[in-house]
A and B are shown apart, each in its own frame.
Chain A
Amino acid sequence: MAEVKTNGDHGDDLVIVRNMVKYFPIRGGLLQRVVAQVKAVDDVSFTIKRGETLGVVGESGCGKTTVGRTLLRLVPYTSGQVLFEGRDVFQAGNREMKELRKEMQIVFQDPFSSLDPRMPIGESIMEGLVVHRIGTAAERWERVINLLRLVNMEDFHAKRYPHEFSGGQRQRIGIARALALDPKFIVADEPVSALDVSVQAQVLNILMDLQQQLGLTYLFIAHNLSVVEHISSRVAVMYLGKMAELASRGDIFENPLHPYTQALMSAIPVADPRKAGSRDRIILEGDVPSPINPPAGCHFHPRCRYAMKGLCDQEEPEFKDYGTGHFVACWLVEKEAG
């Protein structure tokens, strides 16, 4: 059991994730026994610094959404540890968890299912205050109005129902609801991927403004690299339930070390057609293997053009810091580093 640090000496790190594992059991047969496990998140460790935005990218099914939901304990964890300001999230009792929920919130991807269609949006925003018995009825309404203004909406919107709003408006309502309890940390689970490009910018700017004003910390999950580059201070790349690389935004976009990250970066569309022709496009062969039965060794080796026989397909590379907080899990990088 790792020792739980007290509130003061966790330094810059708001969230520490150690060896997070989340398997989804597949049940089958007459007795509904567990016949296999989907290894959605398979031993992932990282930290999120106070006030930063950690972007998480990866293709569909790589486990990035599951990382966010497991971290908030919205789905049961399999193993590992999450510390939020030194408090152990996975081991927290009911009462402690309720307190922790005030500090950590989530903004969802789908603006159409994230609000209760039968509830005026003002009440949806207010729910957190009601659950935690904060303020009187009048104070709660005042808070709701302030929150609506914070996300550039009007007071009178509070009495309306979700179906009366556009996708972008609903997403801002979702943000207001997440902010109601004055959290320090927000998991933004692909908050703009369901929106029009013009509205995406609007919501991203609101998220960034709020971060400045309220000193928020984000875990920003996305599959759009341009969006992640716009908002993140550090970026993590996931592949098949594992972290491939984690570095500052500049490092990861200018100097990607992991072959998978390199392939991803080469896939970013370039606006200038003259430059677009000259760039080195890396095409990955084959499909992502099944997370039920991931390949041995490095999960990426079957599709890696640098894969070394007898090493990459046998042993798993360690997710290590190669200086200045540039983490990579790759045998090639490890060999070059000596």
Chain B
Amino acid sequence: MAQAQNVELLDAEALLTPEKESQALVVWRRFRRHKLALAGLIVITTFIFLGIFAGLVAPYHPISYQNPRYRNAPPTAEHLLGTDEIGRDVFSRLLFAARISLTVAFLVTGTSHFVGALLGGISGYFGGWVDNMVQRLVDFLLTIPLLPLLLAFSSILRGITIPFVPAQYSSVVVISVILIMFGWMGACRLVRGMVLSLRALDFSEAARALGMSDARIILRHMIPNSMAPIIVSATLGLGGVIVLESALSFLGFGVQPPIPTWGNMLQAAQAGLLGQPAKVFYPGMAIFLTSLAFNYVGDGLRDALDPRLKL
């Protein structure tokens, strides 16, 4: 009797439950409505593809091609954006610089958010002295003014040789490691805050009642549930890393020539600022466009991933 009644109730419930739509699809549908974010996504995708296929798109080799007859040349059909002070093709270098700058940006934000999420998860979940240690470390690192510290570190690590990495590229690795070391604290605080509220919920208690280990609860329940803000923060962070890396390279402490990045191209171009002001404009525009695009995409994702905002 009771069973039959329950079955009837079930049918009614089944009819009332809306058709399942995949989570990713819902997010994409909401993201699409944000026009600027969509434009940003297109810009970033374009830059990524240009970076990946720089070898095919670029008319000249960015480093080894040097035309001594065309130094500081203005744009021509031969050299779309002209040549730099030692006769290299600016357009080709810009494309290869996209490869370096974007790789560093993704590597740094990816790793620093991974490390930050893990430490934040541990810190928030265990609380007590563990939490205290991690958070005081975060506080300490955040109080240090970043730029002088980065300058100091990169000049110390400048001459280092890293196994399996060509000597030319060692500065790329060094700058990435430094940016990761001083870039994980935001994600750590973010995840810690999320986990503090998540671990009080019954589902984490249920996991403990099932005999699940703390590590598994953090990895399977705490961090996945903090994913939305992490993704948003990482996307916004990408733009920041590009700017920071450019700033360091501009100051001469980042990626070392002859490897092109937007930052060191900017620095090289400023020498000829009066004669060729446009040379500053190209890498500057690339930095400006990508960081702006990342910011819009981040904004779009923030809205798309927030279930409380009904768009």
| Contact surface of A with B, Cβ cutoff 8 Å | 69, 72, 74, 97-98, 101-102, 104-106, 108-110, 113-119, 124, 127-128, 131-132, 152-154, 159-161, 164-166, 169, 174, 177, 180-181, 202, 205-206, 209
Contacts and interface: CB of A to CB of B under 8 A. Distances in A.
Sorted from nearest, which 10 A-B pairs have the closest CB atoms?
A: A101-B211, A114-B202, A108-B202, A113-B201, A128-B210, A98-B211, A152-B6, A113-B202, A116-B203, A205-B2
B266 to A, nearest CB: 42
A72 B211 contact: no
B186 to A, nearest CB: 22
Count class of interface residues, chain B:
20 to 34
A131 B213 CA distance: 8
B211 A132 contact: yes
Given A153-B10, A165-B17, A202-B9, A127 B207 contact: yes
Contacts of A113: 201-203
A201 B188 CA distance: 45
Contacts of A97: 211
Contacts of B16: 166
A108 B206 contact: yes
Given A117-B225, A164-B18, A74 B210 contact: no
Given A154-B10, A169-B13, 13 more contacts: A74-B209, A104-B209, A106-B206, A116-B224, A116-B225, A127-B210, A127-B220, A128-B210, A128-B211, A131-B216, A165-B17, A181-B210, A206-B6
A152 B3 contact: yes
Contacts of B206: 106, 108, 114, 174, 177
A113 B204 CA distance: 9
A209 B2 contact: yes
Contacts of A74: 205, 208-209
A152 B213 CA distance: 31
B77 interface: no
Nearest to A118: B224
Contacts of A106: 205-206, 209
Nearest to B19: A164
B128 to A, nearest CB: 10
23 contacts: A74-B205, A74-B208, A101-B211, A105-B210, A106-B205, A106-B209, A113-B202, A113-B203, A114-B203, A116-B221, A116-B225, A118-B227, A127-B207, A127-B220, A128-B210, A131-B212, A131-B216, A132-B211, A152-B6, A152-B7, A154-B14, A160-B17, A161-B20
